[in-house]
Structure 1
Amino acid sequence: MNLSLLQLIDSSFPTGAFSHSFGLETALQEGDVVNGDGLAKWIEAYITGSVAPVDGAGVYWAYQYADGLINEGGEAGEAEQKLTALDQLLTLGRLAREAREAGIKIGRRYLHTVEKLYPASGLSSYSNWIRSGVCYGNPSIVHGWICAYLHETPQSTVLSYLYSSANMIVQNAMRAMAVGQTEGQKVLRSLLPMLERQADLLLEHPPSPDLLSVRTIRQEIAAMRHETLYSRLFMS
């Protein structure tokens, strides 16, 4: 894993993810998560039931498609067809409207910044597909694409995405609940073995793009209920 990738997954990288809790804020207000242990369980369920089987798989396939286009001289038309179909599956497969809109906002912001940093990456094509209305914009595709351009391995590509997703929730939890910085880092440290296992499982048995599915129904419902909370710190 090179320093370029570390920059992309740093919590200070401007994707706008700090504005979204993906249902955690609902769980906090309703008392389902009240401490560090509860937070760790929530994030583990979020990663294993949603991020890894959907977004992580999206990262894997985006990497494969973009790698074939960038590094192996694949057919541009075929790559565009696969990537646009993947974008639509990842976006429209989200049940909660707020989570769906959050993915689009984060994806487009991630894309905007990465394009500026790596103008030769070819991600301008993705921007054009979004402007033309055939794509929505998704962070999984941006991450897989830029990692292929940076010649990262599939392992580091998927693992870095899972890590940044878990770290995002930890950082946001520290703003929303009585979890200090040390406790937050303890939670994140406890999740590292799980993140590695999920990355290994995904690489060993990558799900077909048309079979991506969320298994965390309770968290999806929490994301749906977020818009009706009495007070909100986050957008989703």
Structure 2
Amino acid sequence: MPTPIEARITLAQWLSPAYPTGGFAWSHGLETEVAEGRVTDQASFAAWLADVLEHGLGRTDAVLLAEAHRAAPETLPALDAEARAFAPSAERRAETAEQGAAFARTTAAVWGLDLPPLTHPVALGHAAARAGLPLEEAAALYLHATAANLAGAAQRLVPLGQTDAQAALAGVGPLCARLAEEAAALTRDDLSSAAWAADIAAMRHETLQPRLFRS
């Protein structure tokens, strides 16, 4: 078993922008929100980010990660199918599937963990369990990495200055910690999403032109 510090270092590497999952290519519909004038500055981005984390992909992915961390290997295909079904758009499904497959390939090559091409939260939760990494910390850092990717997208799209982007990211730090703690006590029966505007924006992105991001 890794020491607590070793576990944190491994999770930090898995969720680093340098880990080749391609997270920089996806905006989860933020590009649509900017193009249509709903996200225009630091305040509107911070509000959008908090809503997406608490009521949309953040909460859902944290619960899926927690379930994967606890799951027996033979139950992972069903959990992964549920994760794909919860994706609100074709691009969001591609986002979680492609990032998960990339995570599985790299983690298998570097850590010797034989991982199937699962969706990102399911792959990471299962890998964390097999590597002896703590559930709550894995969920918190996963959520923070998601928020950081979106803050990076906001810098290019709004555009948002680096300081404003970091202020928005710092603002959701406590939210990431709380959602991770809650997810550790939840099951797939608790899966839900209420980020309707963000989900619709993700759907509308499929026909948005021109665009920088894949979602």
After TM superposition, the score normalised by the length of structure 2 is 0.92
- State the alpha-carbon separation in 2 of the partners of residues 53 and 193 from structure 1: 14
The aligned counterpart of 1:131 is none
Give the aligned residue type for 1:229: L
- State the alpha-carbon separation in 2 of the partners of residues 17 and 2 from structure 1: 20
Q: 1:2 aligns to what SS in structure 2? A: helix
Is residue 2:100 matched to residue 1:110? no
Give the aligned residue type for 2:95: A
Match of 1:178 among 139, 156, 159: 159
Match of 1:159 among 131, 137, 140: 140
The aligned counterpart of 1:35 is 41
The CA deviation at 1:230 is 2.4
1:96-118 deviation line (CA, Å, top 9, x unaligned):
11111111111111111111111
Q: Could you tell me whether the CA contact under 8 Å between 1:51 and 1:162 is conserved in 2?
A: no
Match of 1:122 among 108, 114, 118: 114
The CA deviation at 1:210 is 4.4
- State the alpha-carbon separation in 2 of the partners of residues 102 and 51 from structure 1: 12
- State the alpha-carbon separation in 1 of the partners of residues 58 and 158 from structure 2: 25
The aligned counterpart of 1:11 is 17
Aligned residues with identical type, % of pairs: 28
- State the alpha-carbon separation in 2 of the partners of residues 5 and 83 from structure 1: 21
Greater shift after overlay, 92-101 or 208-217? 208-217
Match of 1:221 among 186, 196, 200: 200
Is residue 2:212 matched to residue 1:233? yes
Q: 2:45 aligns to what SS in structure 1? A: helix
The CA deviation at 1:165 is 0.9
The aligned counterpart of 1:168 is 149
Which protein shows a greater Rg? 1
RMSD, aligned α-carbons = 1.4
1:122-180 deviation line (CA, Å, top 9, x unaligned):
32xx24xxxxxxxxx30011111221123221211111111111111011111222212
Q: 1:178 aligns to what SS in structure 2? A: coil
For structure 1, which runs of at least 5 residues remain unmatched after alignment?
66-78, 128-136
Q: Could you tell me whether the CA contact under 8 Å between 1:52 and 1:202 is conserved in 2?
A: no
The aligned counterpart of 2:89 is 96
Q: Could you tell me whether the CA contact under 8 Å between 1:28 and 1:34 is conserved in 2?
A: yes
1:10-32 deviation line (CA, Å, top 9, x unaligned):
12221011111011000000111
Is residue 2:125 matched to residue 1:144? yes
Is residue 2:89 matched to residue 1:83? no
Q: 2:213 aligns to what SS in structure 1? A: coil
4+ runs of 1 displaced by more than 6 Å? none
- State the alpha-carbon separation in 1 of the partners of residues 105 and 92 from structure 2: 20
